[in-house]
Amino acid sequence: MSDRLPEEGFVGRGNREGADLFRQWFSELNRTAEQGGPSAYVFVMGSMCEILRTFNLPVVFPEINSLQTAVRRVAHEYLNQAEDYGYSPDICGYVKADVAVQLRGGEHPMGRIPKPSIAVLTNACNTYIKWAEIWERMYNIPVFTLDIPGTRAAGTQTWPGDPDFENDRRYVQAQITELIALCERVTGIQFDIDRLREVMGYANEMSRGWKQVLEFNKSRPSLFNALTDGTIYLGVANGFRGAPEGGRYFTNLVEEMAYKAAHGIGTLTEEKYRLTFIGVPCYPIFRRFNELFTEWGGTFVHSTYLWFASGGANLGFEYDQARPLESLAEGVLISVRNAMDSMFYQDRAIIEMVDSFHLDGVVYHPIKSCRTTSTGMADNRRSLMAARDIPSLFIESDMMDRRVVAEAQMKNRIDAFFEGLASRKQQQTAAG
């Protein structure tokens, strides 16, 4: 760790650099759209940026584009347009916002989104598959589904050397080889394995940093808000995976966190209650949603969002560049599987982190739009409650559709939750 920068330059650097990188990314996408260049549509859980960057394909994350419409409070315009086209109010809001972006020729609050030349998706979310079928129909582009078998049952993950793992790995590796051949056809560029090694090096730097950053938030007070700051870091983790800027960003972020930890610098909230967040944030009222917690001194020290929406990069898996394809298959399989586990079997991890992250409470946020993250949440909560004596809150809303977000009702529930936490703390203090 270096002490050479003044505090005002160091603290908050991750947020500033993240915002800059985001603007840079979207201006490049805008330029690509204007010039009609190729682009790859990908998703956060298993973006395969390692391969796509090897072919210099700009990556578009429609999930991120969609959530940006909600953060900028125009999602309803996009949702309405997609519903007029025929889509049900009961399907994923991300899909609908993207359909409207496509129907508008790429028009988006942050610029113009290029049309896809190829779409690459995994099965980490089944809606990815249905979503990509829409582009297939709209643009007649190649759609590649990288099928990544997940955990078959709780606690039964297999590892390299196990015959079941090797069956999965061979399947994933064969598909990666097929993806490479497809990218060669789409771009006209011949695959360069040394370029892949280089890209994997940047991805390694990022994964290493991401894991460390998450671990740093065990500090008291917490160093960053997992819901707000964390979402910025997550954006960079996705948009710049396999890029030199992405690797460098996370190296810098680790440096910032180490500095803050060493100097006891936390977030702007005076930390009274340490919380973890389960699910996807409430983007239609993103800032206000966070304030409903921070006003009570609640800080989000962790979030499962930072696990699954980084495609499992939180594991910090580092590729072996000496055997790139085999190692890529292994890493993608293990990481994306972990992303799925953090949605389906997250109770196990939360039970473990209650102590290591000194948690005072767990906030579950199931959303109408996303059955992947929300279906099992109530049952996960039951499991946590059976295993640990820790208060939890269960509030339903949405990540896109403000029609499903009842702020007053939510505030009542959140206030009651904190009153409970306060009384519990008093009792604990009284009991010595």
Partner 1 sequence: MNVRTFEAWRGKPLDEVLYECRELLEDMTFPTVRRWRESGGKVIGHFQVYFPEEIVHAAGILPFKVRGAQIEAVQADSRFGSYLCSIIKTSLELALSNRVQLEMFVTHPICDAARNLGAVWGRNFSYPCQILYLPQNANSPAAVTYLRNEYARLQRSVEAITGRPVEEDDLRRSLGVYNRNRALLRELYAIKRETPWLVSADEAYVLVAIGGLVPREEHNELLETALPLIAARPNKKQDKIRLVFEGGFCEQPPLDLIRAIARSCYVVDDDLLIGLRWILEDVPLDGDPLFNLASAYLEKSSYSPVQHDLRKPKEKMLIDRIRNSRAEAAILTAAKMCEPGLEDQVAYLHALDKEGIPYFVSEFEEKMTTFEHMEIQLETFVENILFS
352 near 328, Cβ under 8 Å? no
# residues contacting partner 1 (CB under 8 A)? 58
Q: Tell me which of 133, 198, 271, 291 binds partner 1, using CB under 8 A.
A: 133
26 scored as a contact of partner 1 (CB under 8 A)? no
> Candidates 6-14, 87-95, 250-258, 408-416 — which segment interacts with partner 1 by CB under 8 A?
87-95
In whole angstroms, what is the distance from residue 308 CA to residue 312 CA?
Answer: 6
Q: Tell me which of 50, 256, 347, 360 binds partner 1, using CB under 8 A.
A: 347
Q: Tell me which of 29, 91, 315, 414 binds partner 1, using CB under 8 A.
A: 91
> Candidates 50-58, 79-87, 292-300, 419-427 — which segment interacts with partner 1 by CB under 8 A?
79-87
Pick the closest to residue 306 from 225, 387, 407, 218 (CA basis).
Answer: 225
Residue closer to partner 1, measured from CB, 10 or 135: 135
> Candidates 10-18, 82-90, 206-214, 406-414 — which segment interacts with partner 1 by CB under 8 A?
82-90
The CB-of-103 to partner 1 minimum distance in angstroms stands at 12
Binders of partner 1 among residues 92 to 121 (CB under 8 A) are 92, 95
Calculate ∠ Cα 369-370-373, nearest 5°: 150
376 scored as a contact of partner 1 (CB under 8 A)? yes
Q: Tell me which of 6, 36, 90, 268 binds partner 1, using CB under 8 A.
A: 90
Pick the closest to residue 12 from 357, 255, 244 (CA basis).
Answer: 255
Residue closer to partner 1, measured from CB, 102 or 207: 102
Q: What are phi and psi of 277, to 5 degrees?
A: -115, 130
> Candidates 54-62, 225-233, 310-318, 338-346 — which segment interacts with partner 1 by CB under 8 A?
338-346
Residue closer to partner 1, measured from CB, 19 or 378: 378
Residue closer to partner 1, measured from CB, 111 or 279: 279
The CB-of-394 to partner 1 minimum distance in angstroms stands at 9
Work out the number of other CB atoms within 10 angstroms of the CB of residue 297. 16
**Beta-carbon contacts of residue 116 (< 8 Å; ≥ 6 apart):** 39, 40, 41, 60, 135, 139, 141
In sign, the C-alpha dihedral spanning 210, 214, 219, 221 is positive
The DSSP H or E segment spanning 419 is: helix 407-430
In whole angstroms, what is the distance from residue 158 CA to residue 343 CA?
Answer: 18
DSSP labels for 357-372? Answer: TT-SEEEEE-BTT-HH
Residue closer to partner 1, measured from CB, 24 or 409: 409
The CB-of-119 to partner 1 minimum distance in angstroms stands at 12
Residue closer to partner 1, measured from CB, 133 or 271: 133
Starting at the edge strand found earlier in the chain, the sheet holding 143-146 runs: 59-60, 40-41, 118-122, 143-146
First vs last C-alpha separation in the chain: 38
In whole angstroms, what is the distance from residue 304 CA to residue 348 CA?
Answer: 12
Work out the number of other CB atoms within 10 angstroms of the CB of residue 34. 12
Whose tokens are 């959530």? That residue is 67
DSSP labels for 51-110? Answer: HHHHTT--EE-HHHHHHHHHHTT-HHHHHHHHHHHT--TTS-HHHHHHHHHHHTTTEETT
366 scored as a contact of partner 1 (CB under 8 A)? yes
Q: Tell me which of 125, 226, 254, 362 binds partner 1, using CB under 8 A.
A: 125
Query: For the window 136-175, what string marks contact with partner 1 as x by the rule CB under 8 A?
Result: xx-----x-xxx-xxxxxx-x-------x--xx-xx--xx
The CB-of-349 to partner 1 minimum distance in angstroms stands at 13
In whole angstroms, what is the distance from residue 349 CA to residue 384 CA?
Answer: 10
Residue closer to partner 1, measured from CB, 36 or 163: 163
Q: Tell me which of 32, 54, 69, 127 binds partner 1, using CB under 8 A.
A: 127
> Candidates 1-9, 126-134, 195-203, 293-301 — which segment interacts with partner 1 by CB under 8 A?
126-134
Whose tokens are 């206000």? That residue is 288
Q: Tell me which of 81, 107, 344, 407 binds partner 1, using CB under 8 A.
A: 344
Binding site for partner 1 (CB under 8 A): 85-88, 90-92, 95, 123, 125-127, 129-130, 133-134, 136-137, 143, 145-147, 149-154, 156, 164, 167-168, 170-171, 174-175, 178, 340, 343-345, 347, 366-368, 370-372, 374-380, 382-383, 396
